[in-house]
Amino acid sequence: MTFVTIVALLSVLVGTLLAVSLRSVLHAVFCLALSLAGVACLFLLLDSPFVATMQILVYVGGISVAMVFAVMMSRSPKASMQSERLGHRILGVSVAVPFFGVVGWILLHTDFAVAPERAEGAGSVVEIGRDLLTHYNLVFELLSLALLVAIMGAILLTSRDDSEEASE
Amino acid sequence: MTLDLHAFLLLSLMLFSMGLYAVVARQNLIALLIGVELMLNGANVSFLAFNHYVAPDPAVGKTIVLFVIGLAAAEAAIALSIVIAVYRQRAAIRIGELTDLKG
């Protein structure tokens, strides 16, 4: 068991458990960042260093930080520290555990076909880039459009207009 | 011990189930968003695991995961700005208090 494997398993398991169970939302976001970094290590183990880099850049560097900012800007002591009512926890467990059990049972009882032999250098960054700009070009452009709309929408949603400020 | 396909799939299922629990049980909007991100990551892990062990063309899964990461970034930006807008309007981001559209 290599070092990367141990780091990946530990950070994914511990980070995820804490991210969904900690009462303080800010701490939960930090544990989410740990878990996402662990997922990046899993991507390294799966022979995809480029995707792992993107995972670190976008998730750990971008989304987690944006979440921390959102927590800071929307923090009211009573809202961020109250724990869930017991009923919600029971409901959550009663949804998640049967799901895990059923899908896990199916997974363990399925034999997946093994991949055929691959050419040298298949799945490299060069190949991903060529795919993105030829076969998946339409999806690529649509995604950039969606990102643009999301950025504009985020700015519009969070900017105060003058009438709002006057009423405060 | 090295991880095989089933280990990776179980890990991804674990991530997805934890995210599902957070979406159902947590009452804070940002904590709910954490659950959604965990579910997306679970799906990504299973995509790459199948891509590495099963798929004949190893570039497809990576491309799809890149698309998912891009969409998740857009989704997080919109969701977080909605959270901030809701907080500005009523100083509360607990789900139980947002019942205006309830019939």
B33-88 pLDDT per residue, tens: 999 999 999 999 999 999 888 877 778 889 999 999 999 999 999 999 988 888 88
Structure tokens at A164: 């709002």
CA dihedral A16, A94, B65, A114 (to 10 degrees): 100
> How many domains does the structure of chain B reveal?
1
* Domain presence at residue B28: yes
* Domain presence at residue A85: no
Averaged over B80-101, what is the pLDDT? 81
Q: Do A128 and B48 touch (CB under 8 A)?
A: no
Question: Distance, in angstroms, between A167 CA and closest chain B CA?
Answer: 11
* Domain presence at residue A106: no
CA A80/CA B72 separation, integer angstroms: 24
pLDDT (tens digit per residue) in A65-86: 999 998 888 875 555 455 567 8
Contact B74, A62 (CB under 8 A): no
Higher pLDDT among residues A56 and B87, named by residue? A56
Write the burial class of residue A145 (CB in 10 Å: 0-12 exposed, 13-18 middle, 19+ buried).
exposed
* Domain presence at residue A107: no
pLDDT for A163 equals 56
Where do we find the tokens 């504009």? A152
pLDDT for B54 equals 85
Q: Do A13 and B14 touch (CB under 8 A)?
A: yes
* Domain presence at residue B27: yes
Q: Which domain holds residue A141?
A: 124-159
Averaged over A52-68, what is the pLDDT? 92
Domain boundary among A76, A109, A136: A76
* Domain presence at residue B102: no
Q: Which domain holds residue B54?
A: 5-97
Which residue out of A3, A145, A158 would a mutagenesis test of the B interface target, given it has the greatest number of B Cβ atoms within 10 Å?
Answer: A158
Domain boundary among A76, A109, A137: A76
pLDDT for A81 equals 53
Whether pTM exceeds 0.80? yes
Residue A151 has pLDDT above 80, yes or no: yes
CATH of the domain at A1: 1.20.120.1200
* Domain presence at residue B14: yes
By CA distance, what is A147's nearest residue in B? B74
* Domain presence at residue B69: yes
Write the burial class of residue B100 (CB in 10 Å: 0-12 exposed, 13-18 middle, 19+ buried).
exposed
Q: Do B45 and A5 touch (CB under 8 A)?
A: no
Residue A71 and residue A10 share a domain: yes
From residue A122, alpha-carbon distances to A161, B48, B52 in Å are 52, 14, 11
pLDDT for A29 equals 93
* Domain presence at residue B12: yes
* Domain presence at residue A83: no
* Domain presence at residue B103: no
* First vs last C-alpha separation in chain A: 59
* Domain presence at residue A92: no
Q: Do A35 and B38 touch (CB under 8 A)?
A: yes
pLDDT (tens digit per residue) in A15-35: 999 999 888 889 999 999 999
* Domain presence at residue B42: yes
Percent of chain A with pLDDT over 70: 86
Chain A positions touching B81 (Cβ under 8 A) are 153-155, 157-158
CA B103/CA B97 separation, integer angstroms: 14
> How many domains does the structure of chain A reveal?
2
Domain boundary among A36, A59, A76: A76
